Amino acid sequence: MKKKTTNIILLVILLIIGGFAIYYFMPKKDSTTTDPMAAVFKFEPMKELEDFERQKYAELFNNAIAYTQSYPDQMDGWMTLGMVQKQIGNYQAAETAWLHVNEIRPLNSTSFGNLADLYANFLKEYDKAEAMYRRAIENSMSEAKNTSFYRNFFYFYKDYVKDETKAEQILLEGIENNSKSDLLALAGSFYQEKGNNEKAIEYYQKYLEVNPDNEAVKKELDTLTK
């Protein structure tokens, strides 16, 4: 009987030790981890705002909250939440809101373009910015704003990445897909800055074929052809 009791006690001790071991080595949830989406629904300015700005953004924020609660699958409320969060300096919350729009409306172009700007100009995550510019361009091929995305992508490569080869490539791609746009004038200016007057003249002339009354471009062309 005594031996049986001893065995039971040993078994209990082993179970207790095993339980502590499992608890100790088992991955634990980080108590500091929070749902990124929670920040989207908080109005907490991270930069100085004038009273009228705070009031304006608070009103937009509250209206957007009400809209997303009524229409959670519509992108408008989420887009506004992202815009407000960006304006008040909560860049991570803006990112979360717009990434959500990417998920519910993967064929839209605006949220991808907004994220490209956010990554390039505020978060300084250039790889992500590049991917978002690509997607914004892809999704806007039939839209007027496609030209704007190409222009911004060009300046991103030229002024941020400091890669004029990629800048030139994306500019020429943009012209190929928007053959009558102001990207022609941008190409003329780009080649003029590089000292490639022949190319500059070519693109200025192409632009004036579409927009013959643009005095600024006429002036640049006259300067190059004198």
| DSSP string computed for 28-64 | ---TT---HHHHHT----SS---HHHHHHHHHHHHHH
User: For residue 70, is pLDDT > 50?
Assistant: yes
Do residues 85 and 49 touch, judged by C-beta distance below 8 A? no
Which of 225, 222, 176, 180 lies closest to 198 in space, CA to CA? 225
pLDDT per residue as tens digits for the range 74-95: 999 999 999 999 999 999 999 9
C-beta pairs of 156-165 under 8 Å, 24+ apart in sequence: 156/116, 156/120, 156/126, 156/129, 156/130, 158/190, 160/120, 160/126, 160/129, 161/126, 164/194
pLDDT per residue as tens digits for the range 148-202: 999 999 999 999 999 999 999 999 999 999 999 999 999 999 999 999 999 999 9
Q: How confident is the model at residue 9 (pLDDT cuts 50, 70, 90)?
A: low
In which residue are the tokens 């995305």 written?
Answer: 149
pLDDT of residue 19: 46
**Model pTM?**
0.83
pLDDT per residue as tens digits for the range 122-135: 999 999 999 999 99
Do residues 43 and 61 touch, judged by C-beta distance below 8 A? yes
User: For residue 47, is pLDDT > 50?
Assistant: yes
pLDDT of residue 34: 76
Sequence-distant (≥ 6) Cβ neighbours of residue 35 within 8 angstroms = none
